[in-house]
Amino acid sequence: MTDDLRFRRPVEADHPQLVGQVDDWWGGRNLHQIFPRLWLQHFTGTSWLAEDTEGHPIGFLVGFISPDHPEEAYVHMIATSPNHRRAGLGRLLYERFFDDARARGARRVTAVTWPGNRVSVGFHRAMGFRPADGQGTQNLYGTPAYADYDADGDDRVVFRREL
Ligand SMILES: CC(C)(COP(=O)(O)OP(=O)(O)OC[C@H]1O[C@@H](n2cnc3c(N)ncnc32)[C@H](O)[C@@H]1OP(=O)(O)O)[C@@H](O)C(=O)NCCC(=O)NCCS
């Protein structure tokens, strides 16, 4: 796997191609709405793009160190091409981000996902994240989650991982 890909920081010029793919990569959900161009204007120093040998994007992660909580890193989106899944690419992207976060002094990573996204829930658990399960959470789709977290009907699992 690692012989067939290379990692680099994304740049703004990558946005049109990536934003055109995210709905497909998320199985038809309207994910382009949460991936405006600003992510590749202001957060590239802690984000990663994986390409195949021909330079086609096959995975990306956009994340940052929290300006309000410098001990906390936050992953906004992570995805791999449907043709390259279960081969360790998502794990490699996260490991690069963990290294970025540690190097900048962060102590933990947060990632928020929809509890019905079983692939994302399984992936984050496999990456060492644990769901917040304290006050205000309830079992949704088998995972502790906050109902109406982002808006009415927008339930979320809040995953945390220590570094
Ligand atoms: C979630 C996603 C990024 C995982 O990428 P990936 O490249 O397949 O991940 P990896 O191959 O590195 O998997 C690492 C581990 O995660 C777990 N995992 C990955 N896919 C899984 C699945 N479909 N079901 C259960 N566990 C899974 C496994 O334990 C896996 O290790 P293994 O392959 O040795 O069993 C990818 O499926 C994806 O892009 N999904 C659509 C976008 C999305 O939902 N993103 C997350 C929310 S922002």
Report the nearest atom of ligand 1 relative to the CA of 84. 7
Q: What is the CA(118)–ligand 1 centre distance, in A?
A: 10
The values of phi and psi at residue 130, to 5°, are: -125, 140
pLDDT band of residue 4 (cuts 50, 70, 90) is confident
Buried-exposed string 25-51: b where 16+ CB fall within 10 A, e elsewhere: bbeeeebeeebeeebbeebbebbbbbb
CA torsion sign for 70, 71, 76, 77 is positive
Report the nearest atom of ligand 1 relative to the CA of 25. 41
pLDDT of 140 above 70: yes
Question: pTM for the full model?
Answer: 0.96
Q: What is the pLDDT of residues 34-49, one digit of tens each?
A: 999 999 999 999 999 9
pLDDT of 103 above 80: yes
Testing ligand 1's pocket by substitution, the residue of 5, 25, 81, 119 carrying the most ligand atoms inside 8 A of its CB is 119
Q: Write out residues with Cβ below 6 Å of ligand 1.
A: 25-26, 77-80, 85-91, 113, 117, 119-120, 122-123, 126
- Give the pLDDT score at 2: 65
Testing ligand 1's pocket by substitution, the residue of 86, 91, 118 carrying the most ligand atoms inside 8 A of its CB is 86
pLDDT band of residue 1 (cuts 50, 70, 90) is low
pLDDT of 142 above 90: yes
